[in-house]
Structure 1
């Protein structure tokens, strides 16, 4: 499923009108019909419903929605906020069809007191006030109306396309409708996957209105939602004749005397996620600790200094298919030498945690690599790599990810709510799973282990990474649906729940 910016959506609409030949009136009717089907699944005909419509196409969609709901016997009142003369184009045509169908319109202008008195009497508020063109602070009367909507806590609020007042591309939100559900038209918008904008959307559903897939390919960047359908399509199946070597030989480097847990979490997650053979390279001082926690891995003690890697790594790297490095290794000069050695190996490398700290000084090595490089920063690590603030990252997650991945030729996993996986070619895949239970130490180490294991088994690097992120997030979701809360989930809980998650997807 494609995710678009406001500008891309305008281009898609114009291409559909001019090149495909579907008229604006027809498209608005299709939008109203499709959205109404979603609405009818969430409400019943006996609830008092109000449709609040603005002047633009979002308001036009509201006119169609109100008409169709009425035709099915729903109790609906349509309030049009701007005066009649302000409504133009396809929206005006949709309003005239509504009126000619014998239905009543209530206008806000001149009836303000009655409007605010009645607003609290509706069980369902359908928000068609403002669309993707909104910019800057809201003006009266929209400011007052949205404030009143948000004060009605017990009402079901359904926003159409985007919650009114939210910038379609995300960013700062001064005031916007706080929706329980948002029904996006044809494609969800970028703001639905970036915070703080995403916090206004509630549950996001998508109404297909019949725009041919060709239009999206022609008019928008490849920015996709990675859904369960894709996960199931790409998850590998083990043939009956497979053996441990056929399921990949992975090398995991990390750990230090102060942080033994991180490397153990990554290792166990990798084994739980199907790695055929796993070798764990750690400073020799912690080898006795790490090796006693699970028996399935092989171990390579490395020279240490003050509890960290000294820098010399006596390994035959050619014996491995994928390297993952970083969890718990610390930020010493010895650790930087180990990362440098790993990056000089011409095989896939995954960099996480402290390896990303060292990467800042080693970016020049990325251009010389012929094999895939995967980096997995959170917002703070991304800010350091790019030389910007964390706010800059959060306000431009898609743009910064794409720019960095293309410039340095890496697969970039920008972690956080709606984690974004960006390929070296700039294609982007957004993860829909996960919750704030993952905001806890150790969960990133678990993800590194899953990514390593999946890269050993998948044919596509992007699919391996996207599937790993999905499974990691869905494990957290399933834990919350069960006996856990978002407060008490541990990284080890995620690992123990991986079998249930994988079985569900299989």
Structure 2
């Protein structure tokens, strides 16, 4: 798993590497420039392109100097322009420039009129230290580059003007691609900042894991390798009970489809035995929709959970907001089994947060931004601007797992660890997609995986299925949640084959 860090954490990691490990700052800069240059040559540049590297006076500019030296040594046509004065260069950047000049190369001062002459502009101006409004001349330079039509713009570590920690942006360079150094930064996964990165590449610069572990802020990207390593393989000597007995509670006269989609997704995700619990007045409408499931219609007093044996439950899809539905949620919270709460279940638990906090079995909350806002008494914008912090606060306060849905869904554990999902596309922005995910999470947590692993795998596969649908020529806007359900066998099979 790759880490996600704030600017202050990255500075601490660098400091630990220099002071405790003994790798010099100059060597780290050399490693960074070498790694970025190799990626540029491999992925983004061709020999015929004319390249400009814009460097500032900080360490980001030093990285740019090393990149320029390496590209020139490989025959690329490269100019390096310094914004600012040489005497303002950081110590490591000044060393990189000395090596550059001793190698027979020259830099020049920034000239605005020449920018249109280049096919590629590499941004090594500001790095992760940006805070607040941009000062001149950077604001004018960035505004000018953003208006140019021709060049490919590649940022080093972070687009100049974007804050490493925050979602909001006032003025920043709009990169086509960004080469992130060693660890993802928070704003890689926060909108609108994410729009400025373009395609994201990550390069390793040789910082030892011990340095990264010195920062006690556990945020990671959940990757395909994490999924393939942890997906369970079914053995011959097993039975349906081996893979979990679950109940999905949901449905109301106006929302019959939601529990059906959850149920089908749970079954496609490998649950061993599934029961659908629903109000009696919709039982006949649901009967036969999911022939693999059992049915448990209930009356005014709610489901009698003593009537069926189970070891996990999901509640909320299509449940409605009636007093009767609220009572059902209250009953579910008292059960000593893993509990997934989604949709209208999240609406009702606002009145039972103390009960949620006292539960001893795992509790998984799956809000989107508006539902999170109601739980935390925040606006949607406040949630979206602070997704990491808000998720962690809810998870650690209530001792629950939180799945904050949206682009780059964040899974947070009760002890504050966070795992970001990178799969999916806007095709999932459709009613019912969350119901599908709820069923998948229930199925996965009942198949022997650790809870966070099961949740993160469900989120990853949910998004990957939508990506595979796009690859099969589906229009993004045309994807249905039921399409995702039907894609699950193919998606899961493709991952299991990589495990073999």
TM-score range, shorter chain: over 0.9
Q: 2:246 aligns with which of 226, 245, 250?
A: 250
CA distance in 2, matches of 1:269, 1:500: 13
Q: Specify whether residues 317 and 92 from structure 1 end up closer, same or farther in structure 2 by C-alpha distance, changes over 3 A only.
A: farther
Structure-1 residue corresponding to 2:127: 131
CA distance in 2, matches of 1:449, 1:154: 47
Q: 2:328 aligns with which of 325, 329, 338?
A: 338
CA distance in 2, matches of 1:453, 1:85: 61
Aligned: 1:145 with 2:135? no
Q: What is the Cα deviation at residue 311 of structure 1? A: 4.3
Q: Secondary structure at the match of 2:45?
A: coil
Q: 2:415 aligns with which of 390, 410, 425?
A: 425
Structure-1 residue corresponding to 2:280: 284
Deviations 1:301-350 (A, max 9, x none): 111xxxxxx34222227711110000000011111111111110111000
Structure-2 residue corresponding to 1:371: 361
Aligned: 1:328 with 2:330? no
The answer to whether the 8 Å contact 1:170/1:196 transfers is no
What is the number of residues matched between the two proteins?
A: 494
Structure-2 residue corresponding to 1:447: 437
Structure-2 residue corresponding to 1:347: 337
Q: How does 1:85-484 map to 2 (within 5 A)?
A: 85-108=87-110, 115-303=111-299, 310-316=300-306, 319-484=309-474
Which deviates further from its counterpart, 140-149 or 209-218? 140-149
CA distance in 1, matches of 2:16, 2:342: 42
The answer to whether the 8 Å contact 1:269/1:495 transfers is yes
The answer to whether the 8 Å contact 1:440/1:490 transfers is yes
The answer to whether the 8 Å contact 2:116/2:150 transfers is no
Unaligned runs of 5+ in 1: 109-114, 304-309
The answer to whether the 8 Å contact 1:170/1:192 transfers is no
Q: What is the Cα deviation at residue 171 of structure 1? A: 2.5
CA distance in 2, matches of 1:458, 1:107: 61
CA distance in 2, matches of 1:344, 1:286: 25
Q: Secondary structure at the match of 2:166?
A: coil
Q: Secondary structure at the match of 2:305?
A: coil
CA distance in 2, matches of 1:311, 1:141: 69
Q: Secondary structure at the match of 2:329?
A: helix
Which deviates further from its counterpart, 77-86 or 56-65? 77-86
CA distance in 1, matches of 2:35, 2:151: 23
Q: Secondary structure at the match of 1:45?
A: coil
Q: What is the Cα deviation at residue 46 of structure 1? A: 1.8
Q: Specify whether residues 407 and 19 from structure 1 end up closer, same or farther in structure 2 by C-alpha distance, changes over 3 A only.
A: same
Unaligned runs of 5+ in 2: none
CA distance in 2, matches of 1:459, 1:174: 43
Q: Secondary structure at the match of 1:132?
A: helix
The answer to whether the 8 Å contact 1:311/1:336 transfers is no
Q: CA RMSD in A?
A: 1.1
CA distance in 2, matches of 1:52, 1:480: 37
Q: TM-score, normalised by structure 2?
A: 0.97
Structure-2 residue corresponding to 1:17: 18
